[in-house]
């Protein structure tokens, strides 16, 4: 689910196909890293099961990490904070070359996507 949402966000910002999948996977790995820092769980990112090949993030194992952490009382707040922080940083970087009109259009599309997700 999260990966699909991240792909949709990447699509809104002009990434398509394999490029959107790569962006979503990169964002997901940074979210996991941010969560581990906020939860003081360094071992999460040190866990070799999260990585495969040449240090490339393994999405499936990342989802297992989220599943294992979601029973903790602080998970929801930390997940939300981590997601917001990562997406805000990424958005600022991507939008540097955007016109104000395009920034507003993208913002509206992302807000609509968030409303759609909140309904689910």
CB-count burial class (<10 Å; 0-12, 13-18, 19+) for 16? exposed
Tell me the per-residue pLDDT of 54-106, one tens digit each, with 9 for 90 and over: 455 566 666 776 777 777 777 778 888 888 888 888 888 888 888 889 888 88
- What residue ranges do the domains of the chain occupy? 2-119
For residue 48, the model assigns a pLDDT of 46
């Amino acid at each position: 689910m999260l990966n699909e949402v991240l792909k949709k966000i990447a699509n809104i910002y002009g990434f398509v196909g394999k490029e959107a999948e790569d962006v979503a996977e990169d964002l997901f790995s940074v979210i996991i890293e941010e969560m581990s820092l906020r939860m003081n769980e360094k071992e999460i990112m040190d866990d070799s099961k999260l990585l495969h090949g040449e240090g490339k993030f393994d999405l499936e194992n990342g989802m297992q990490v989220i599943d294992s952490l979601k029973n903790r009382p602080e998970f929801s707040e930390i997940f939300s904070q981590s997601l917001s922080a990562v997406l805000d940083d990424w958005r600022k970087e991507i939008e540097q070359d955007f016109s104000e009109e395009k920034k507003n259009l993208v913002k509206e599309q992302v807000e609509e996507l968030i409303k759609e997700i909140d309904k689910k």
